[in-house]
Structure 1
Amino acid sequence: MIASLQSAAAQVRSAVRVATEGLVGREQLAELIVLAAVAQEHLLVIGPPGTAKSAVVRRVAQSMGGRYFEYLLGRFTEPSELFGAVDLKKLREGTVETDVSGMLPEADIVFLDEVFLGSTAILNTLLGVLNERRFRRGHTQIQCPLRVCVGAANGLPDDEALAAFGDRFLLHLFVESVPDNQLEAMLSGGWQSEQRPVQQLLGLSQLDTLSQALKSVDLDQARPLLATAIRRLREAGIALSDRRIVKSQRLIAAAALLSRRTQATDADLWPLLYVLPTQETQQRGREVLRELFAASSNSHLFSAVEEATLQPLSRVNRLQETALELLQRPLADHAAVESLLREIDANFDSATLPEPLQGLRGQLASQLSGGA
């Protein structure tokens, strides 16, 4: 069992890299989609139009395989556009059944853009699909194969009913446009990504292997830390519902599995940041939980960890991956090597530098001096 879990977890990083190739600054979103899928929870992405939200979800879905359903909701979207039309032949016979062929109830991965524009009828039906993985309409009752639903919107709603619906998405991610210093990389990467098909590297069976192991994760070590984190958030005036607190354990367990462990530790507490529902509470929560997040790391989801905690240890895996890439190049990129060495030295001194990264730093320094 352990071998199959480790094998499944090992596929994640490759899948994320392929899915986000050329999409600058969107690794965090791709990693959170995978985390949500393993935890069997859902992700709400808030950000301005044109920030590659749909592109990332679509490419992650392609890397996973399975059936994918995507829809842009509007004020006049009919339930049949998402869930399928009523079967007229059976209706004439007095039975109200829905033909769901190729529609949302049959999908493994779902992306709903402008999700808060859905009508009451749509959102009520969605609640059953999201919460219970069950579609009910008339005489039709179907168990849905849904692994993860990603909803997107330009902002959080003020309407209380819509806010309650948004709360059903356990993970909340706030994205911004690519900053000025990354524009050249975005232009180059975006041009290439449009012309490169996405290879399927992470199958649904591997996701299911990880999801099914969720309940076997030992949370005894992490649970007291989670309770301490909740108390500190409450002391700072940041409240979470009991439901969100309890469900956050699924994310912590998923984070442990994706680090190829069946025991959650202080390194896996970081998903709690994304459970905080607003951008303001996430910014404040990052400071409140700074001490508890100090040990946060994940060898496969390191962009999500780094953005959540902004701690030196959260950067180790990214620095190691970048170092290995530079060392494998036939010709040394002196500017990139110098930049990476500066970042390593800015985050660690000789006493705190982790041993694997210490060895890579030495190789980079030798490469730089040898090519000088």
Structure 2
Amino acid sequence: MDNDPLTARPLEQTLYEVKKTIVGQDELLQKMIIALLARGHLLVEGVPGLAKTLAIKALAETIGGAFQRIQFTPDLVPADVVGTRIYNQQSGEFQVNLGPVFANLVLADEINRAPAKVQSALLEVMQERQVTIGRETFASPKPFLVMATQNPIESEGTYPLPEAQVDRFMMKVKVGYPSAAEEFVVVERMLGLGEKPQRVMDPEQLASLQQAADAVYVDPGIIQYAVRLATATRNPALAGLPDLGRFVTFGASPRASINMVLAARALAFLRGRGYALPEDCRDLALDVLRHRLVLSYEALADNVDPDDIVRAIINAVPLPDISPQVPEREQVQWHPSTT
């Protein structure tokens, strides 16, 4: 099959290079690609030792551009992230020293180890793609993406992310343990030298792919479906689940509906279509919604997880019956497990 070079080759080659380092984690890798195409930020949660940081670093090496890793610690201050003004005695003027956040791909490693004051320093740049230092405003590079990791099992020395900060992330992906066969390959690779991922893309190519993903057609029915899912998290009774209302204090914001549609459009692009389907939106709804729910004390007492509530809502809200209204593009198959 003669694949479209704009869609298939750079993405397939990127995935191939990342898989030289990462074994398994197909779902994480797919969500990382979606975040790149949709210009969204990604929060990755998992216990230590599951190659979260390594996966993000490997992806950064394949797409080129400027990459910065910020190790979040309790003694970090906002100036360490965004930059600060420094007085130059020779010139008698203040000079701006830009921080590591001015990169194409920023890895915020263990983001929940820094206090809220530092985490909030990322709010402006993640939403508005700019940073204000003193009286000056500096635009972030293009493309600009933040991928953050956090450890869910260790509470000492960690700080819960503010709701405003969490809402800036397009998706939250939970990383699980590998299978026995995958873990065998991991150990086997660690015994050898291993291959280093090669650069297969540059920021200009990534920008072209993002523009191509932007051209994917989204039916208004899909937008309505995303809005129904987000609305049901605020009032589960709208989805016929009144019993879940006591577990939810605050539901997802309208930003969830926006990100659900943007991510679904990128997923449709990966699946080789020029139009999105309701299934694209449904397949990403859990990752888009799970971190936006604020549960009640009753939910915490009953060990109710946000995933349980979101899954119930997804199952309760029916898919809209939509027929494609634009010609289907040449099919470009994307198989992460066989690449």
Structure 1 length-normalised TM: 0.69
Query: 1: distance between equivalents of 2:104 and 2:135?
Result: 23
Q: CA deviation at 1:292?
A: 4.5
Query: 2: distance between equivalents of 1:49 and 1:161?
Result: 18
The 3 A distance-change label for structure 1 pair 136 and 181 is same
2:290 corresponds to which letter in structure 1? P
The 3 A distance-change label for structure 1 pair 198 and 182 is closer
Q: CA deviation at 1:25?
A: 2.4
The 3 A distance-change label for structure 1 pair 30 and 160 is closer
Structure 2 residues not aligned, in runs of 5+:
292-303, 321-330
1:299 has 2:333 as partner: yes
1:132 has 2:128 as partner: yes
- Once the two structures are superposed, residues 95-125 of structure 1 have per-residue CA deviations (whole angstroms, 9 ceiling, x without a partner) of 4x4212xx42420001011212334443232
Do the aligned partners of 2:112 and 2:161 also contact (CA within 8 Å) in 1? no
1:274 corresponds to which letter in structure 2? D
Q: Any idea what SS the aligned residue of 1:276 has?
A: helix
Query: 1: distance between equivalents of 2:263 and 2:178?
Result: 27
The 3 A distance-change label for structure 1 pair 183 and 213 is closer
1:251 corresponds to which letter in structure 2? A
Q: Any idea what SS the aligned residue of 2:97 has?
A: coil
Query: 1: distance between equivalents of 2:287 and 2:62?
Result: 23
Do the aligned partners of 1:5 and 1:260 also contact (CA within 8 Å) in 2? no
The aligned residue for residue 148 of structure 1 is 145
Identity over aligned residues, as a percent? 20
1:248 has 2:260 as partner: yes
Higher helix share: 1
The aligned residue for residue 327 of structure 2 is none
1:135 corresponds to which letter in structure 2? V
Q: Aligned ranges for residues 310-325 of structure 1 at < 5 Å?
A: 318=337, 321=338
Query: 1: distance between equivalents of 2:100 and 2:27?
Result: 25
Higher strand share: 2
Q: Any idea what SS the aligned residue of 2:88 has?
A: helix
Q: CA deviation at 1:29?
A: 1.8
Q: Aligned ranges for residues 129-208 of structure 1 at < 5 Å?
A: 129-145=125-141, 146-155=143-152, 162-192=162-192, 195-208=194-207
The aligned residue for residue 277 of structure 2 is 265
The aligned residue for residue 110 of structure 1 is 106
Larger radius of gyration: 1
Do the aligned partners of 1:210 and 1:257 also contact (CA within 8 Å) in 2? no
Moved over 6 A (4+): 156-161
1:281 has 2:306 as partner: yes
The aligned residue for residue 87 of structure 1 is 86
Q: How many residues align?
A: 297
RMSD over aligned Cα atoms: 3.4
The aligned residue for residue 34 of structure 2 is 35
The 3 A distance-change label for structure 1 pair 207 and 267 is farther
Query: 1: distance between equivalents of 2:165 and 2:71?
Result: 17
The aligned residue for residue 96 of structure 2 is 98
Query: 2: distance between equivalents of 1:261 and 1:6?
Result: 14
Structure 2 length-normalised TM: 0.75
Structure of higher RCO (CA pairs closer than 8 Å, 6+ residues apart):
2
Do the aligned partners of 2:17 and 2:198 also contact (CA within 8 Å) in 1? yes
